[in-house]
Structure 1
């Protein structure tokens, strides 16, 4: 029934007028999440706008989101925004499609089974303690950078079996530059193919090449040692039903995807969690009390997590307000119906966690940081796609359990020893890319707990 367009309304869903050539690009602006939120609040659960030649529907109703991501999923592919990051992500799980994606997903699933993920908890705790041991009271730090270094080290150890000996600053800057340049390209009304040697394209190619060289080096070093318990070893040994294994290119694409996803998104969850806690001392006191009661100063383990509900609530609330990935897009491969409107082939359906997670229907006082809202079974009462920081449907993030466990262990390991005061003159803002980093970093001062 969902494919029928016989009952579809004539015309487009309501939305703002745009210019003939650029559409609504000038209205979207660098803080595009504000545009999305205003669009949903002004025009309702399904709204229409245009970015250059792309026609988009912004959908914020959980049932309609479920229709796109689950019911009609086979009739959609990743949208132009996701494809724009293929130079970095290659043909990994985030960007691949169809039978190839399904084959790769099945091949990699064993690496993310519960027992395998739980085995990484001691590594996460050990590296968090190692980071804290290098800090000193009164030290000024950039929380985004510090947690990026930590989650990069965790990704290196769990993904490639490598101890972290990298150039942190070089890795961090190369990745940020590549993301920045690709985001600027995505926002442009008109672009030439990346192969065309414009100054901007040359910068993109150089930044991407540095990141690819980095991952290739990780894989080469990982291959040079005996197979172990890391994800790369699992991927190297994984076999399809016909006995075939991943090619070197497939290994690189999946390793690139897992490294960037495992490093960037969890670092942002930790960064925004501590920012919010620094602004809400009563919530931080409740968190510290929970750690004192359950852990008593010792290093957290995976077995402790069930006894740390407020820790989990803080992470859930941080991902509600600052979802690491703030939007998901799907492009229709055939004419469809959605919310009574005709979705033509080539149209993009955009679903924004930033918008959905601020719906007062499901989250009263939505702009308020309130971890307590998660302590009374809220997750069981919410519609499936009212809260979806890791996406949903078949393409639910394969590393979601890894990420939530990592965030909880690091939060507790670090937070028992230090608290953070955000610099009083700091300008805290967001910089939407494929993820949602702070625009100017997160400057803070370390204080002993």
Structure 2
């Protein structure tokens, strides 16, 4: 474990001057990704700013990011932003720490082995086809809603073996309310304790109670039935070295974490992929030609994916420009050194995919949508933490292979049947939350190919 050291520089890394009370809160603004980008480009690889009582560094050099996420990882915990979501994620993989996290990660890892993940491909394709059966030429849709509903259905089927649409809609509505309220809470300079019966807290606690009640019902049903192929069955059967398994509460925490981390991020990858394709017809044409050549109209199987390199390149490029998770944060648990500066205990180091994925040192014309850049082995040549949509280090996303397979299967299944035209009056912008959704949705008109 790293220890505090004497550093060569005094004070804080460079950064913008803020106000006495709020610090740089007013400068961060609703499009915080622009603030991060300006911060890195103006002040260099390690910059400093303050939000209220929190001192934050932004590390944008890959070596500094490696130091935080790998070399000194044991000296950091998840930052205050991630902990804001503990009321819904509990002590799941995203929010737990230390030996408990490692024990849970090892217990869950078999559920995400290649063969297990590939067994879910038919579920993904079948539910995508079911969505397409409700579409027709000329129909107006919100692509974000459509893909979120689809990936939610896939997540609930693969996680709980759940087919009931009513349960799915109920949990989706409650979770959306929870996330909106927690995101608003994150942006508040002062947060009232959740036990205080403010109108917002009352709505939040009611939604949380509803979500927990529904998921606890899924877990009880899972324990009562013979073991199935869903992830919940795998988690119920999993045992630590001492023969113990997970409690119902821990099952709920891990299930909620996997559901939320899994379905929202993939839906956003698909939404932004289609937005970019709609703006670049030549790239879309090349993509459709790959599907016609390899798939001839059928849904892909896992064995097809290696024959779809342009599909993978489009997904990689969409996640480069619009990373579903655009910032990672770690809070120091002891005094540390980073880039010649002291990171005091309690300081937070942020690392932003939005920033690193736009570094012209590694990506020529970084704002341009160019899937071709991924076709010549770029991924293998890039230093670690230049492109990291799934995070990195020990805590890299456990479901990355699931997400990439799901995105490829849905993109090609849907894209062979339909193309999308954005509504002419659509205003496309981002709304940075814990993820990166479009601010006003993604309104489009369907056209059958």
What is the correspondence of 1:10-159 to structure 2 with a 5 Å cutoff?
10-159=10-159
Aligned length: 449
Give 1:216 shift.
Answer: 2.4
TM-score, normalised to structure 2's length? 0.98
- After superposition, residues 33-432 of structure 1 pair within 5 angstroms as 33-166=33-166, 170-432=170-432
* Gap regions ≥5 residues in structure 2: none
The 8 Å contact of residues 4 and 336 in structure 1, kept in 2 or not, is answered as yes
Q: Distance in 1 between matches of 2:343 and 2:147?
A: 41
Shift of 1:130: 1.1
Partner Cα separation in structure 2 for residue 108 and residue 333 of structure 1:
26
Conserved 8 A contact 1:237-1:245: yes
Q: CA deviation at 1:4?
A: 4.5
Indicate the larger mover: 336-345 or 223-232: 223-232
Would you say the 8 A contact 2:219–2:248 is kept in 1? no
1: CA distance, partners of 2:172 / 2:245: 31
**Superposed CA RMSD:** 1.3
C-alpha distance 48-238 of structure 1, shift in aligned 2 (>3 A): same
Question: C-alpha separation between the residues in 1 aligned to 2:339 and 2:253?
Answer: 36
Distance 1:168 1:409, change over 3 A: same
Which secondary structure does the structure 2 equivalent of 1:108 belong to? helix
Aligned-partner Cα distance in 2 for 1:269–1:213: 30
Most deviating of 189-198 and 41-50? 189-198
Aligned with 2:342: secondary structure? Answer: strand
2-structure distance, mates of 1:415, 1:441: 19
- Offset of residue 259 of structure 1: 0.8
The 2-side partners of 1:316 and 1:296 are apart by 23
User: How far apart are the structure 1 equivalents of 2:215 and 2:8?
Assistant: 47
Deviation at 1:242, TM superposition (A): 0.5
User: What is the distance in 2 between the residues matched to 1:167 and 1:437?
Assistant: 24
1:441 positional shift? 1.0
- TM-score, length of structure 1 as denominator length: 0.98
Q: Secondary structure at the match of 2:18?
A: coil
**Structure 1 runs of 4+ with >4 Å offset:** 167-170
How far apart are 1:170 and its partner, in Å?
4.4
Instruction: Determine helix, strand or coil for the equivalent of 1:446.
Output: strand
CA distance in 2, matches of 1:409, 1:419: 16
**How far has the Cα of 1:87 moved from its partner?**
0.8
CA distance in 1, matches of 2:227, 2:151: 22
Rounded Cα–Cα distance in structure 2 between residues aligned with 1:211 and 1:326? 26
For the Cα contact (< 8 Å) 1:156–1:164, is it kept in 2?
Answer: no
Q: Which whole-Å CA distance do the structure 2 matches of 1:389 and 1:96 have between them?
A: 21
Q: 1:441 to 1:211 in 2, by over 3 A?
A: farther
Specify the SS of the correspondent of 1:349.
strand
CA distance in structure 1 between the aligned counterparts of 2:304 and 2:69, rounded to whole angstroms? 34
Asked whether the 8 Å contact 1:419–1:448 carries over to 2, the reply is: yes
Question: Could you tell me how far apart the structure 2 residues matched to 1:89 and 1:357 are?
Answer: 28
Tell me how far apart the structure 2 counterparts of residues 399 and 299 of structure 1 sit (CA, whole Å).
Answer: 22
Query: In 1, Cα distance between the equivalents of 2:224 and 2:282?
Result: 50
Instruction: Give the conservation status (yes or no) of the 8 Å contact 1:22–1:52.
Output: yes
Contact in 1 for aligned 2:153/2:168 (Cα 8 Å): no
Offset of residue 223 of structure 1: 3.2
Shift of residue 405, structure 1, vs aligned partner: 0.3
* Secondary structure at the counterpart of residue 166 of structure 1: helix
1:138-189 C-alpha deviation (Å, 9 max, x unpaired): 1111111111111111111111112242355544443232222111111111
Shift of 1:397: 0.4
The answer to whether the 8 Å contact 2:331/2:347 transfers is: yes
Structure 1 CA distance, aligned partners of 2:406 and 2:312?
A: 11
Deviation at 1:208, TM superposition (A): 2.4
The answer to whether the Cα contact below 8 Å between 2:216 and 2:248 also exists between their aligned partners in 1 is: no
